Structure 1
């Protein structure tokens, strides 16, 4: 299974490298006013991907960190107060 996962990622990486090589051309980006930037197309796509991917990733990580902190605070309280034991069948019939 590990081999298939590695093979999958290698195929994806080769595909991305071939696409980047075939599209290695300059793109002019109009920033503001008369300011323009010439940037390679694959680099522009990577920057756009990261601008869309990183903020939600940071929000998710922050939520997980907060939940883990709350859970770590609650665990000692739960260990100090164990739940009451269930009554045995003998006690129920008496």
Structure 2
């Protein structure tokens, strides 16, 4: 049984406003299906920088062929993957998760 994958509104807004090509948009969005089948595909996010640490444990997965990384939490009880942040890999680490 597939997991439910939800994107935070800020992720949806970022994808619409910041991703400039249809190819890259579709590539990033295709990870919804990947995470629905393999919620632990991404690695546990454990940054060196305290400023880059989220409020709760999470996982991250870089989307190949794009400069984007998805950050998400896995809820076993509800079988839900919540993608709460998307980041361009050239962003400032100190500003990571400032939108959540």
Same fold (TM > 0.5):
no
Give the TM-score normalised by the residue count of structure 1.
0.23
Determine which structure has the larger strand proportion and give its number.
Answer: 2
Determine which structure has the larger helix proportion and give its number.
Answer: 1
Largest Rg, 1 or 2: 1
Give the TM-score normalised by the residue count of structure 2.
0.22
